Amino acid sequence: MISSYIGIESGNRTNVIFLLLLAFLVSVMVGPVFSGRLPINDYRSLEPLRKVMTIIQKDYVDSQASDTRELVFGAIRGMLKTLDDPYTRFLDPETYREMKIETNGAFGGLGIVIGVRDGQLTIISPISGTPADRAGIRPGDRIVAVEGENLKDVSLQDAIKLLKGPEGTTISFQVAREGKRDPIPFTLTREVIKIQSVAHEMAPNKVGYLRISQFIETTASDVEKSLEQLVTAGAKAIVLDLRNNPGGLLEAAVRVSELFLSSGTVVSVQARDGRKVEYTSSGTRFPSLPMMVMVNRGSASASEIVAGALRDNGRAMLAGEKTYGKGCVQSVIPIDDEAAVAITTAWYFTPAGDCIHDRGILPDLTLLDDQVLAESTANEKEQISGQPGGLKDETGSGRRLNGPVGGAKAGTAAGAIADSADKDSAAHSIISRSDISLQRVLEMMNAHLLLSSSEKTGRRKFAEAPASNRDESR
């Protein structure tokens, strides 16, 4: 069986997006990889490999180090390394077993998605509610040392082995952070990470808030249930939060997009032969509910597919930061009952035809990272963002949320939303007053609903007015 997955960079783990220890399988068949026999010249080129293995097994001084299976695994690693592709790697039995378990949404670790970017082990995103998240780990942090060991020349998979461990054990490491001169030390206790893929809550003024932390097998059905509950409770608009979402299953991303799109292309995938396969939507569940989508630099792969699909189809505006930029698909191909290889087999493109790999997606409205804002003075905030509160119109495109929301101004709604969120905190509200970016987006959605309501009321009054009172001028 061949499966394809997309996930955040590891760096998803080799730029391979790994959720400390999480690789994302995607239940999408990509077609036979080996459609014929190797040419005879290719068989002959393997002869040196056979000879070297024979020499090692016959003459190498340490007979315990010449296990045939381990020699083959080593040769496979070497072959994949020559491709110079951070996402292509060998999955030994232990790693492959963990991958299959983790795809179900539970695994042991720190709760971080890591990858290699620019040759450095980089945090793609922390998972909400995990040790890494609680400790203040940020997207873009670079792990420079673990237990005092410098990671400069350590491979991604070796680094993962250093970071993982039994539940309840502690680990110390240091991260380099942009804007900080010295590395920042952390000591965390490992936990069993159980991912709640979807969470929702009704914000004031009938704005539904929906957060997706990762795309796993149950995500699409959970999103549909959450939307049904929000709409039943009277939601008039939706804020979809994809921040710090490292990606996951391609099928889940497509199905979530279909919930909001009545038609149109969701994503297209181009394989080695140049052919493109389009995933199109025929969904009819929530095609007209006004919405905004929140993204940041921790939004990658599958979450970028959803964001790109909704924006390119004119369904939603994007607010936040430029996304991570992972636009390739890996196929996980078993080589026996225990091990597999993950190789890059395709690129994906947004409905507008954009390849976002290493580029990311620019939002329509830039909302600076709350932690960055918290460390800046009020003057610095306005200088950086152009507006108080870190809000910046990035495109000037006038994109609409099925209505005129692009010009919404900051007012008092955010304060009301924040106060309400504080009151709900005892009940474990997922809408935080300290989340400045979210407060701004909720405020804009509220302004949009108020404006839409006023327009409808005006039209209704005009329609009901006596003919003699109507303005008949041309």
Q: In this structure, what is the dihedral angle of CA atoms 329, 334, 335, 336, given to the nearest 10 degrees?
A: 170
**What is the number of helices (H) and of strands (E) in the chain?**
13, 21
CA–CA distance, 306 with 293 (Å, rounded to integer)? 9
Parallel, antiparallel, or unpaired: how do β-strands 317-320 and 365-367 relate?
Answer: parallel
Structure tokens at 167: 């539940």
Q: Is 164 a catalytic residue?
A: no
Residue 257 in tokens: 């997009």
The strand pair at 112-117 and 391-393 is best described as unpaired
Local structure of 288: helix, strand or coil: coil
- Among 128, 197, 226, 301, the active-site one is 301
Structural tokens at position 460 = 């209704």
* Residue whose structure tokens are 């970017």: 117
- 182 a catalytic residue: no
Angle at which helices 47-59 and 68-81 cross, to 10°: 140
Phi and psi (nearest 5°) for 111?
85, 45
Cα 141 from Cα 287, distance rounded (Å): 38
CA distance 339 to 354: 34
DSSP state of 61: S
CB hemisphere CA count around 165 (13 angstroms): 13
The helix (H) or strand (E) run that includes residue 334 is strand 328-334
Amino acid found at 318: L
d(CA 44, CA 19): 40
Q: Which residues contact 123 (CB under 8 A, 6 or more apart)?
A: 112, 113, 114, 132, 137, 138, 139, 140, 141, 142, 143, 175
| 10 is annotated as an active-site residue | no
The single residue of 141, 222, 241, 312 carrying the catalytic annotation is 312
**Are 103 and 21 within 8 A, CB to CB?**
no
**Which residue is catalytic, options 164, 236, 326, 381?**
326
* Residues assigned a catalytic role: 301, 312, 326
